[in-house]
Amino acid sequence: MTDLLGAYRPGRSVLHRIPAGPKLGLLATYGAIAVALHGPASAVVLLVVSLALTLVAGMPVRRTLRQVRGLLVLAVVVAAFQTWQRGWPVAVHVVGDLLALVLAALVFTATTPVDDVLTAVERGLRPFRRLGVRPERVALAFSLVLRAIPGILETARETRAAAKARGLERSPRALLVPLAVRTVGRAYETGDALAARGLGDD
């Protein structure tokens, strides 16, 4: 995984020892709590909890800040807009929840091997097989998403660097068109690889 999604870091913390399935359930519950609660106070509490989890997981502070630096810029913009439109309490609520959930997701990915996550997803969906759900297909799709997003982020960085080298860093077209073309091309390559292995047919 690349920066925003984090990467698994072997360790011996209590968070590392929690199995992937229960940990995924806790992450979903944490997200549900963030959605259910409203107001700046709850957002601040959740953010503090997420920050504490990064320390429990043994995540280096500098590395964590580097992972979320792009998000911090976005958070400042969102906070300014929300303050202007709806007031500072809403801004704190929105930005606090956003940062809390992203940090929680980073903790999850930093303490859980991807293979364990995929196994947990497949195992959790087995009861739904009788309803026509194919757990192995869902796990495969989940795996592809996890592996595709870092590639897209890397492509975006390369595209931005190329545009900047040509003095076009402020041109949306110079950024979006090459990114879209390369992303679609990557998707076709993945589809062809799956089809070659007989995984694209029902």
Tens of pLDDT, residue by residue over 165-175, are 888 777 777 77
Q: What pLDDT shows up at residue 68?
A: 78
Residues 105 and 126 in one domain: no
- Domain span including residue 118: 114-202
Residues 19 and 92 in one domain: yes
* DSSP code, position 131: G
**Per-residue tokens: 50:** 């997420």
Residues 55 and 26 in one domain: yes
pLDDT band with cut points at 50, 70 and 90 for residue 142: confident
Own/partner long-range contacts of 51-58 (Cβ < 8 Å, ≥24 apart): 51/103, 53/15, 53/103, 53/104, 53/107, 54/103, 54/106, 54/107, 56/13, 56/14, 56/15, 57/9, 57/11, 57/13, 57/15, 57/16, 57/107, 57/110, 57/111, 58/9, 58/11, 58/13
pLDDT band with cut points at 50, 70 and 90 for residue 193: low
Q: What pLDDT shows up at residue 4?
A: 43
What ranges in 4-39 are assigned the alpha helix state H? 14-17, 20-36
In the chain, pLDDT over 70 holds for what percent of residues? 85
Q: Which of 1-15, 46-60, 146-160, 177-191 has the highest mean pLDDT?
A: 46-60
Residues 128 and 183 in one domain: yes
* pLDDT at residue 139 is higher than 60: yes
pLDDT band with cut points at 50, 70 and 90 for residue 89: very high
Domain final residue, candidates 84, 112, 140: 112
Q: Is 4 within the bounds of a domain?
A: no
Give the number of other CB atoms < 10 A from CB of residue 184: 10
pLDDT band with cut points at 50, 70 and 90 for residue 149: low
* pLDDT at residue 48 is higher than 60: yes
- List strand residue ranges (DSSP E) for the chain, in order: none
Residues 62 and 133 in one domain: no
Domain final residue, candidates 75, 95, 112: 112
Residues 150 and 81 in one domain: no
Which conformational region is residue 132 in: left (phi greater than 0), alpha (psi within -120 to 50 degrees), or beta? Answer: left
pTM for the model: 0.70
Residues 82 and 171 in one domain: no
The answer to whether the CB of 1 falls within 8 A of the CB of 109 is yes
* DSSP code, position 128: G
Query: Alpha-carbon distance 86 to 83, whole Å?
Result: 6
Domain final residue, candidates 61, 77, 112: 112
Residues 122 and 186 in one domain: yes
Q: What pLDDT shows up at residue 51?
A: 94
Structural domain tally of the chain? 2
Q: Is 65 within the bounds of a domain?
A: yes
Q: What pLDDT shows up at residue 1?
A: 38
